[in-house]
Amino acid sequence: AFDGHDLHGLTIGPDGKLYFSVGDNGFSVRTREGQLLHHPNTGGVLRCNWDGSGLEVFATGLRNVQEIAFDDFGNLFSVDNDGDIREERERFVYITEGSDSGWRLNWQFKKGGWPGRTQTSEYCPWIDEKLWLPHWPGQAAYITPPMSEFSVGPGGFKYNPGTALNDRYKGAFFLCEFPVQKVTAFKTEPKGAYFKMVDEHIFLFGMMASAINFGPDGSLYVANWDGKWQPNDLGSIWMVDDPLLRKSERRKQVAKLLRGDFGSHINSFLVNLLAHPDQRVRLEAQFELAKRNRFDELLALVTNPEEDRLARVHAMWGLGQIAPDKQRNEHLIKRLPFADNDPEIRAQVAKLAGARALKTAASRLVDMLHDENARVQFHAALALGQTGNNDTTSHLVALLDRNNDKDAYIRHAAIMGLAGSAHPEQLTALNAHNTAAVRAAAVATLRRLRHSGVKAFLKDKSEWVLREAISAIHDDKSILDSLAAVANLLPDSGNEPEAITRRVLSANLRVGRSENAQRLLDYALDTANPDAMRSEALLCLRDWNRRPFVDRVEGQVRTLSKRDEGLAKRLIEENLSKLFKMSDGAVLAELIRLCERLQIKLGTEPLLVIAMSDSQELEARLQAVKSIESKGEESIVRSLLDLTKNKQSQIQVTAIHKLAEVAPGQFAKKLSEGWNKLSEPAQQAFISLLGEDMSDSGHEVLIKAFDSLLDGKLAKVLELDVLTAAKVRESGRLMQFLKRYEAGKPAEDAFAEYRAILAGGDAVKGKHVYDNHVAAQCVRCHDGGGKGNQVGPQLAGIGKRVDKNYLLRSLIAPNAEIANGFGVTVVELANGEMLVGRVGDRTDQTLTLIPPQGETRKIAVDKVKKITESNTSVMPPMGAILTKHELRDLIAYLETL
């Protein structure tokens, strides 16, 4: 996980409880009441009473929401950070009770450069099963998907309380997108049981705003993190407001109320304040009335359709805060307006009935499942789970059937309703239901209960439901007593989609009995199965007794069951000839690696046969060369020398490295005669290896190469390799050459140290650096696909727009080359107006300012008081992170975009 993925966003909810978010560092805490809240690999939202009692998990599956905000009707929203994975983006999320947004910390380490470290596959459910996307048909049913992809680097997040700024921004949310130096504003509109974003636009641009808040005076206060990740003392707090309203009477009244003591007001005054235009005032009045137990006044307000809508909503929330008793609950059942003409009031009534666990309201809530308004249905279904009436199961199932997975939040509410009311046996019996959406929801409910009834769905005819059932048993905390049932699906599930097959193979590995190992072997032997999955079966055998064990599907650390630890190795040894006969290409390469890992001796001759075979696929040939073991036998050295002359440069390079390994005293001499006839990559490999070769022949080759470099005769593609090898070898003559080389650099060239990286890069290796380097994290900020939706400039076409020298400067000294649109100019006019944007055309009389949104503006120079230009890049200097060889390869890759 990352620093800072911990506690954030303390917020008072409409129920008077404290809400706060926690990042995916996770949490494991025992409450005062003795309950263990254990979610060690995901973030979420928790809530508690003001004294810390009643701590509970409100929602999970979030990565790192910085702040959370309630709208006027108690709906909770945030914008979640992405996992810095190339294929995804940040997400606008609706956080509802019991919601699971799908993120797990272990997803972070399933893409990029991490699988090489964890020795797992690059299969990542978050990406490959499209969990991060808004709802789509067939998406996992156990999650509540985001409403939309949105933002870059979300930070501070606030809702306009109602009287701040001006009417243009009433009902608006404000989000800091600090890496791209803007604050965005938007509003929401209902879309079924959830919401959609509308009127999204840039509100403020030009400062790295990290946090925002509305003051009692109605102004928006913005924290400017000026130095970014290079701290300085220029941080500041800015105030943004509408000058026409800043000192209005209404603003003054709000400020006075908020600074005052609500406990000093009489009841009638507080009741009137429940209709106040400012949310903060309404909440304070509500809390005070609830504190005073003014049940009758609040209920009278709720039941009067002539009263203000928001006043009625707050009155209901106040009723929810007052300690329940039998008499009060009976009053609520009789008088709450379950059939009110206003759908928002009906939704809030259902919500209150659930919060107060009004069991005798079940029939009214069942009626609400048929309401014409989806949000009413949503809250009614949630409430039925909270009231716990077992006889409402059929009605919730009918709701799922009508919804047919069209609305993911109706599905979620029904799942919560079933989880709180249905018996597991009732849920298991739904495996015979005709509608796949009902069966998928039943599985998701059993998953929440961690009940083995999920096994009843393992033969479902729907791929979607089958995947849901297998995932429920295999993933997260797992339903361990059902894992063997998943393992038993092999080989029948061997040709199912990857999400299913990978989990079935993994289940066999985790169960760990002799029949499971045999199934994995049989699957790997069957050429009718996909090669990638046959390789995965071999990898499961490789990991048979691995400690620590990292789940091959999810990436989380698990404890393997007790097993015969030598079984996998014996099976491979007993079936080795059959495996080699039935394998080629990627499967054969994996088999060779497996034998190496398990210390199964293959012998040199079989590997040389594979390596020499032009009919064999490249991956297998390369792995065969890498796995050759030798003490420098002449026949093997000759074979490796022959491979250095292969027409494929990758084989040449691999053979050169193996030759240096098995015959360190000979390889330089053997290759010195014709090394300059090798392919360029092979020449680079040979020269690089000479740095650690202590032979006279190797030293002589390096001397001649450096001499050619100083005379300007050496191919530019070898310059970096010669310099690097010479620095490693450190002989007297080479050190003299290095001094001459350094002395010949142009003094005025600030980048002379790096000129050697401009030639000879490998674009394939460079793409690997771009996609996978854990420290550089290029894909975290840049999109090479041209979408232009990340922190840094889009890089599609960069190789055609700029030359290598520009790329070099941008990588080594990011502040020296700020791309258009990513540098910020602040123009202060003589009349005090502040304008932000990018300067376009400029003459002695005028300058053109191009704002991030809106129309370009031409400004008379004599009207300008001051111009301030930002020249700080968010990107750190790559010379401190990447080696020169990695930089060389990265530049070669960028040229291909």
> What was the pLDDT predicted at 873?
65
Phi, psi of 697 (to 5 degrees): -65, -40
> What was the pLDDT predicted at 228?
64
> What was the pLDDT predicted at 849?
83
Of residues 635, 692, 638, 633, the one with CA closest to residue 660: 692
User: How many Cβ atoms from other residues are within 10 Å of residue 879's Cβ?
Assistant: 17
Angle at the Cα of 687 (from 686 to 693), degrees rounded to 5?
Answer: 85
Q: Take residue 671 and report the two structure tokens written for it.
A: 């290759």
- What is the rounded average pLDDT of the residues 468-484? 98
169: three-class secondary structure by DSSP = helix
For the chain, give the percent of residues with pLDDT over 90. 75
Residue labelled with tokens 């509305």: 214
Residue labelled with tokens 């404290």: 18
DSSP symbol at 71: -
pLDDT(104) > 50: yes
How far is it, in rounded angstroms, from Cα 473 to Cα 456?
11
> What was the pLDDT predicted at 2?
63
Classify strands 825-829 and 864-869 as parallel, antiparallel or unpaired: antiparallel
Of residues 399, 402, 394, the one with CA closest to residue 426: 394
| Per-residue model confidence as pLDDT tens digits over 386-426 | 999 889 999 999 999 999 999 999 999 999 999 999 999 99
Which amino acid is it at 317?
Answer: W
Q: Is residue 580 within 8 Å of 588, Cβ to Cβ?
A: yes
Cα dihedral 286, 291, 292, 297 sign:
positive
| Per-residue model confidence as pLDDT tens digits over 229-240 | 667 787 899 999
557: three-class secondary structure by DSSP = strand
DSSP symbol at 877: P
- Cα–Cα distance list, 43 to 46, 61, 66, 556 (Å): 10, 6, 11, 15
pLDDT(762) > 50: yes
- What is the rounded average pLDDT of the residues 695-699? 88
Q: Residue 743: enclosing H or E segment and its boundaries?
A: helix 732-743
pLDDT(789) > 50: no
- What is the rounded average pLDDT of the residues 492-510? 91
Provide the residue count of the chain: 897
> What was the pLDDT predicted at 378?
99
pLDDT(870) > 70: no
> What was the pLDDT predicted at 871?
61
Q: Is residue 741 within 8 Å of 723, Cβ to Cβ?
A: yes
Could you tell me the residue ranges of all domains in the chain? Answer: 1-150, 153-256, 260-323, 481-601, 763-820+875-894, 825-869
> Of 633-647, 774-788, 870-884, where does mean pLDDT reach its minimum?
774-788
pLDDT(541) > 90: yes
| Per-residue model confidence as pLDDT tens digits over 202-217 | 999 888 899 999 999 9
How far is it, in rounded angstroms, from Cα 503 to Cα 102?
17
> Of 22-36, 522-536, 724-738, where does mean pLDDT reach its minimum?
724-738
Classify strands 549-550 and 154-159 as parallel, antiparallel or unpaired: unpaired
How far is it, in rounded angstroms, from Cα 753 to Cα 745?
8
692: three-class secondary structure by DSSP = coil
Query: Can you state the angle between helices 531-542 and 514-525, rounded to 10 degrees?
Result: 150
Q: Is residue 298 within 8 Å of 319, Cβ to Cβ?
A: yes
How far is it, in rounded angstroms, from Cα 345 to Cα 381?
16
> Of 343-347, 455-459, 590-594, 875-879, where does mean pLDDT reach its minimum?
875-879
Residue labelled with tokens 């046969």: 609
Q: What is the pTM of this model?
A: 0.88
Of residues 25, 10, 29, 101, the one with CA closest to residue 59: 101
| Per-residue model confidence as pLDDT tens digits over 658-672 | 999 998 878 888 888
> What was the pLDDT predicted at 854?
60
| Per-residue model confidence as pLDDT tens digits over 736-748 | 999 999 988 888 8
Of residues 42, 89, 96, the one with CA closest to residue 64: 42
Is the bond into 337 cis (omega within 30 degrees of 0)? no
Beta strand spans in 5-42 (E): 7-12, 18-22, 27-30, 36-39
Phi, psi of 873 (to 5 degrees): -95, 145
State the Rg of the chain over Cα: 33
Q: Take residue 399 and report the two structure tokens written for it.
A: 């709701």
> Of 130-134, 388-392, 452-456, where does mean pLDDT reach its minimum?
388-392
- What is the rounded average pLDDT of the residues 553-572? 95
Q: Which fold has domain 260-323?
A: Leucine-rich Repeat Variant (1.25.10)
DSSP result, 242-281: -TTTTT-HHHHHHHHHHHS-GGGS-HHHHHHHTT-S-HHH
| Per-residue model confidence as pLDDT tens digits over 252-285 | 999 999 999 999 999 999 999 999 999 999 999 9
> Of 307-311, 464-468, 757-761, where does mean pLDDT reach its minimum?
757-761
| Per-residue model confidence as pLDDT tens digits over 177-230 | 988 889 999 999 999 999 999 999 999 988 889 999 999 999 999 999 876 666
DSSP symbol at 863: G
On the question of a common fold for 153-256 and 260-323, the answer reads: no
Q: Which fold has domain 763-820+875-894?
A: Cytochrome Bc1 Complex; Chain D, domain 2 (1.10.760)
pLDDT(786) > 50: no
Residue labelled with tokens 């700020």: 818
pLDDT(821) > 60: no
Classify strands 825-829 and 557-558 as parallel, antiparallel or unpaired: unpaired
For the chain, give the percent of residues with pLDDT over 70. 96
Residue labelled with tokens 């499971």: 516
Class level of CATH domain 153-256? mainly beta
512: three-class secondary structure by DSSP = coil
Q: Residue 349: enclosing H or E segment and its boundaries?
A: helix 343-355
- What is the rounded average pLDDT of the residues 567-586? 95
DSSP symbol at 818: P
Q: 819 pLDDT band (50/70/90 cuts)?
A: low
